[in-house]
Amino acid sequence: MGDKNDGLGLSLRLGCGQNQPSLKLNPMPLASPCMQNIQQRNIWNELFRSSERQLDTRSVLGGIDVNRAPATTECEEEGGISSPNSADSNISGKRNERDPVGDETEAERPSCSPSSDDEDGGGGDDDASRKKLRLSKEQSVVLEETFKEHSTLNPKQKLALAMKLNLRPRQVEVWFQNRRARTKLKRTEADCEYLKRCCDNLTEENRRLQKEVQELRALKLSPQLNMRINPPTTLTMCPSCERVSSSSSSAASTPKHHHLGPGRQRPVSVSPWAALPLPITHQSFNDPASRS
DNA sequence: TTCTACACTCCTGTTACTTCA
DNA sequence: GCTGAAGTAACAGGAGTGTAG
């Protein structure tokens, strides 16, 4: 479903199909080929490059934070973006102290949000870190729409989105990770369903072929029936591959490996082969002349 | 040029919390 | 009100990658 943007990442590492699983049995409609990905990525990066300057001017949102104090974001950006060394190397490479992934809340809060009076009623600073906060509907909608455009974010984009939504960058990052995981899970389930159907079809086909083989064997072992259906003079069988062919009329339909040339076909009754004392090779069966 | 350390991102699995029937 | 299932935010650890020294 929402996976149409797989490989539409914004960082250079995300080339075409980077995140594609090896199993691509149920290819979802690819929204954009590689060139389109690149174009969109460029547009997006350009967009955020311009917004980056705005960020540098610190046009801080005056909105009310839903979950966390906006000061958190602001402080984080001071630590991360405003550094002259790291600001533009967002694609890869060393950056400043990034937002500490695991300990962000602990690392930030003492320095950035001393108030610590969150409206989530967490009671304390530390236990609020694991406090689960439901994203608002508006936030979810924006995140979803952003995800539809690109399933990954570079640090600038993450930061801009976090500011826009009054979330911490870490929250945005986690949301995108979980969203990718959900997308992949659904795709895996869809692939699984597809494989199941394939398996069912193959089982059915196999059953049908087995039945056909049994019928042919029965045909082979019952001369009377065989006679009734196909006179021995018109039915030939290769002892090696046990293929039966009515070779009386069309030589062209006879496979090459049946070795009997059009003019030299030796009509053989099917049933007698089993009674032959020695295994008959292709060579002997094939061309009596070659034996001499 | 190669090696190593570091920073970073992503993926995957898990945990903890919320919501709902 | 209690409970279990489902959904999901948050975390932890490992793998892969790029850069600097």
Cα angle A256, A260, A262; round to 5: 95
SS3 state of residue A13: coil
Q: How far is the CA of A118 from the C1' of C17 (A)?
A: 38
- For A241-255, letters b (16+ CB in 10 Å) and e give eeebbebeeeeeebe
The model's pLDDT over A250-286, given as tens digits with 9 standing for 90+, comes to: 333 333 444 433 333 333 333 333 333 333 223 333 3
Cβ burial of A152 (10 Å; 0-12, 13-18, 19+) is buried
Distance CA A222, CA A254 (A): 24
Q: Which one, of A203, A206, A207, lies nearest residue A195 by Cα? A: A203
Task: Provide, in whole angstroms, the distance separating residue A227's CA from nucleotide C8's C1'.
Answer: 72
In whole angstroms, B18 C1' to A40 CA is 37
Q: What is the pLDDT of residues A200-231, one digit of tens each?
A: 999 999 999 999 999 999 988 876 655 555 54
Question: In which residue ranges of chain A is pLDDT below 70?
Answer: 1-132, 223-292
Length of chain A measured in residues: 292
CB A109 within 8 A of CB A125: yes
Query: Which nucleotide's C1' atom has the smallest distance to the CA of A134?
Result: C9
Nucleotide nearest to A101 (CA to C1'): C11
Chain B bases closer than 7 A to any CB of the protein? 6-13, 16-19
